[in-house]
Amino acid sequence: MRFHCAPSANLHGRHRVAGDKSISHRAVILGAIAEGTTRIRGLLMGGDVMATVAAFRQMGVMISSAHDDRDRVFTVEGVGLHGLREPDADLDLGNSGTAFRLLAGLLSAQSFPCVLKGDASLSARPMSRIIAPLTDMGASIVSESGKPPLEISPVNRLSGIIYHAPVASAQVKSSILLAGLYAEGKVSVIERGWTRDHTERMLSGFGYAVKWSRGLAQLRGGGRLTGQDIDIPADLSSAAFFIVATLITEGSEVVLEKVGINPSRSGILDVVRRMGGRIETENAGEAGGEPVADIRVMHSELTGCNLDGEDVILAIDEIPAIAVAAACAHGETVIRGASELRVKESDRIAAVVEGLRVLGIQAREFPDGMRIVGGKFQSGTVNSFGDHRIAMAFSLAGLVAEGPVDVVDCANVSTSFPEFPVLGKSCGMNITVHDE
């Protein structure tokens, strides 16, 4: 699939982007192991979350979806912590690192064996980061190279752990917490940075006792979860593409409704403000135990900035979009401390720098980041390397380039934001999709 993006006039309107991917996965997972029914509104219908839904159906959980008078509602009939059944085949988590790592934790504690696998991109991603702590807890996990597939066998019991995580990763933390629901004793995850706390918030919403603060999460095994009604906020990581599109396109003003602005995850708002972006939050409220707000963005003159440490962790999925903003800014942007980007759905440092250069922007790779000098995008064809966020980020370049920008290998946009091109058009983006 190829996106063809031509220069566009101003972007405008009020829009709602799709449901938050991280929160959608967790709603399905916790709903499945809760007692009673969980009703989920606003679940992301992207490939990644649908892989999680399919995996639980394979393990005997009834998940149905229907429209009520407002929107689509997914109903998960929870089977309780000990009610999952052995799947009839390997669990294929597609492109989803979140599904894979969270399920590895949960399934390490079940009384049946299973195999977790994924697509080519996921099969190249590191899993030792979860295998090591889960094995320390007593899990039995076999993998040839520390990468998918994983063969998980049942064990008699898991024990508690005090885990000092070497990488700041909410997926690792969540994997350990989900295994910890079944452990004897206490599980503590201590992190070097502040990672998204969606699992902790949602566990607490399901009535499970969890203690958490910046860099620390703790629970004890042996509790229970009770089914809930959950409203999923719009995904800030998807909104990020429209935030940047609006900032860089002259005369634009867009409002994005009911977006999750959890501070453990909203770094992009601070970063673009530091770059001079005019961005306001309105109608602050709560959905699914998460802070939400409408985000109003206006075209702005941007200036480059430096990102490192916590900035990067809090905006880890938004770096490709931020890089496009940086290419349109005055001066230089330097991003360091971001080596995790090399093990996302693609090597995002290499993919971003290559794409920027193809479009005539000066950019250079560091092992842990990149340097971008603001300029003017030329016309060209960019490879997204099958990475949804690279594809969406570079389609924004077409808004302000000297001519059209084509982005190839875009099919995986459907993993996180299937409506992106349609919503883009309704904002005023000149984007067309070609099946080739």
State the residues that interact with ligand S3P by CB under 6 A.
Answer: 22, 98, 169-171, 174, 196, 316-317, 340
* Amino acid occupying residue 236: L
The Cβ of residue 69 has, within 10 Å, a number of other Cβ atoms equal to 4
Residue among 163, 153, 60 nearest 107 (CA) = 153
CB nearer to ligand S3P: pick between 289 and 374 = 289
CB nearer to ligand S3P: pick between 96 and 218 = 96
3-state SS of 105-122? HHHCCCCCCEEEECCCCH
The least distance separating ligand S3P from the CB of residue 226, rounded to whole angstroms, comes to 23
CB nearer to ligand S3P: pick between 129 and 299 = 129
Is 70:117 a contact under the CB 8 Å cutoff?
no
CB nearer to ligand S3P: pick between 370 and 427 = 370
Strand, coil or helix: what is 28? helix
The least distance separating ligand S3P from the CB of residue 84, rounded to whole angstroms, comes to 21
With b for 16 or more beta-carbon neighbours within 10 A and e for fewer, the 235-267 pattern comes to bbbbbbbbbbbbbbbeebebbbbbbbbbebbbb
CB nearer to ligand S3P: pick between 17 and 358 = 17
Length of the chain: 436
The least distance separating ligand S3P from the CB of residue 290, rounded to whole angstroms, comes to 13
Is 318:240 a contact under the CB 8 Å cutoff?
yes
Separation CA 76–CA 61 (nearest Å):
7
Question: The tokens of 54 are what?
Answer: 């399919």
CB nearer to ligand S3P: pick between 92 and 317 = 317
Residue closest to ligand S3P when measured from CB atoms: 22
> For residues 335, 298, 236 and 400, what is the CA-based torsion angle, rounded to 10 degrees?
-60
Question: The tokens of 110 are what?
Answer: 């079940």
Separation CA 196–CA 172 (nearest Å):
11
Question: The tokens of 55 are what?
Answer: 């995996």
Tell me, yes or no, if 317 is annotated catalytic: yes
Is 72:64 a contact under the CB 8 Å cutoff?
no
The least distance separating ligand S3P from the CB of residue 409, rounded to whole angstroms, comes to 19
CB nearer to ligand S3P: pick between 328 and 338 = 338
Burial environment of residue 375 by CB neighbours within 10 A (0 to 12, 13 to 18, 19 or more): middle
Instruction: Name the packing angle between helices 236-248 and 267-274 (round to 10°).
Output: 10
CB nearer to ligand S3P: pick between 58 and 237 = 237
Question: The tokens of 95 are what?
Answer: 């492109």
Separation CA 436–CA 203 (nearest Å):
43
DSSP code string of 388-428: HHHHHHHHHHHHHSSS-EEEE--TTHHHH-TTHHHHHHHHT
CB nearer to ligand S3P: pick between 170 and 396 = 170
The least distance separating ligand S3P from the CB of residue 404, rounded to whole angstroms, comes to 29
The least distance separating ligand S3P from the CB of residue 197, rounded to whole angstroms, comes to 10
Instruction: Name the packing angle between helices 97-107 and 170-180 (round to 10°).
Output: 20
The least distance separating ligand S3P from the CB of residue 251, rounded to whole angstroms, comes to 32
Q: Which of 231, 317, 347, 406 is catalytic?
A: 317
The least distance separating ligand S3P from the CB of residue 340, rounded to whole angstroms, comes to 6
DSSP-assigned letter for residue 167: S
The least distance separating ligand S3P from the CB of residue 245, rounded to whole angstroms, comes to 20
Residue partners of 213: CB distance under 8 A and separation at least 6 = none
The Cβ of residue 405 has, within 10 Å, a number of other Cβ atoms equal to 28
Catalytic residues, by residue number, are: 317
